[in-house]
Amino acid sequence: MRSVPFFNYPALFCKQEADFQTIFSDVGRRGAFIKQRDLADFEKSLASLLGVSYALGVGNATDGLEVALRAAGIGEGDEIIVSSHTMLATAVAAHFAGGKPIPVECGADHLIDPSAVEAAVSSRTRVIMPTQLNGRTCNMDALGRIADKHHLLIVEDAAQALGARYKGCCAGTFGVSAAISFYPAKVLGCLGDGGALVTNDTEVYERAAELCDFGRNHNGNVVRWGFNSRLDNLQAAFLDFQLRKYGDVISRRRRIAALYTQYLKDVKEIVLPPAPESDPDHFDIYQNYEIEAEERDQLRKYLRDVGVGTLVQWGGKAIHHMKALGFTQHLPYTDWMFDRLLMLPMNMSLSDDDVCYVCDNIRSFYGYGQ
């Protein structure tokens, strides 16, 4: 029986072990541990990739979102509209920035539903925070129109979408700022926690940099209350090295997505993500491969029994399900969707044969021939 884990963490290191060891030795021998040239080089590379003016390495994407909101002027009681289909971190960042997260329905594309956003706007709404989920960018035209109509800011949770594009523009470039994650399982992942804030706004960048460095400005003077959230210099060096071949990584993930489409497109009991090249407005990087499946839990058990790892994102809990945090929203479409969602393996350790094995077993579960 073949084993296809959902994510092979050791492979993340082992496939690049020699290069990582060289980087580790170089950084260590220079004593370049905190805010050295490796971080500055990576920030420049990241900004260049996205076509933005500034990139700021931070401790993790949750910090990046909180800092983005604070730097944009969010304060006590301001409402931030988020998709309920997102990592808890999105709402956590809004809360600790002093705001109030307002979860709304996702749409059929699993992304925030613009019509639900429009319906949720109140006199206290200040920000729309779309999550660019699974490596796909939201309908930013529709969200932009809502923001313009109601004089709202857009701050993007682009944690899962580095390199994804909508109508040629990169996720993370549509609003006042955005945060990106470098958690190890991300398309660009480091060997620990890491994140970045990106922006074209000089004032937002300067405030964000001060917030992340104890409130100190570029002259070293304390000008505001701040805290400590820095992307570790060693992690930045690992990331900058990997960024050089990022295009090849995205191409491979899109190839895996195309294979899933090829093998599963006739299985009526599941709904697949859009295939590569199927939508001229979207360029997806396939951070995750999230399907909808009838008899989801039974399918998951069947796949586990044949050695295939899967994942129900967020532990099967949408934001509005977390009643202990005070959420009272009733979101029936998202409820229905969360009974069906399942993520299949999508990572760089997968071979074509692995994908075929996963698909053969899904077909077998639903009674289709090989």
Q: Which of 209, 243, 277 is the last residue of a domain?
A: 243
* 227-210-62-232 Cα dihedral, nearest 10 degrees: -80
Same domain, 234 and 264: no
Residue 53 — very low, low, confident or very high, per pLDDT cuts 50/70/90? very high
Q: pLDDT by residue (tens digit) across 94-116?
A: 999 999 999 999 999 999 999 99
Length of the chain as a residue count: 370
What's the rounded Cα separation, in Å, for the pair 289 and 294? 16
* Cβ pair 341, 312 in contact under 8 A: yes
Same domain, 217 and 344: no
Residue 21 has pLDDT above 70, yes or no: yes
Query: Cα angle at 339 between 336 and 342, to 5 degrees?
Result: 125
On whether residue 2 sits in a domain, the answer given is no
- Give the distance between the most distant pair of CA atoms in the chain: 69
pTM of this structure: 0.96
Plot region of 286 (φ>0 → left; ψ -120 to 50 → alpha; else → beta) = left
On whether residue 36 sits in a domain, the answer given is yes
On whether residue 1 sits in a domain, the answer given is no
On whether residue 122 sits in a domain, the answer given is yes
The residue range of the domain holding 192 is 10-243
Residue 224: how many other CB atoms lie within 10 Å: 12
Residue 130: how many other CB atoms lie within 10 Å: 28
Residue 1 — very low, low, confident or very high, per pLDDT cuts 50/70/90? confident
Same domain, 155 and 48: yes
Q: pLDDT by residue (tens digit) across 242-281?
A: 999 999 999 999 999 999 999 999 999 999 999 999 999 9
The number of folded domains in the chain is 2
CATH number at residue 227: 3.40.640.10
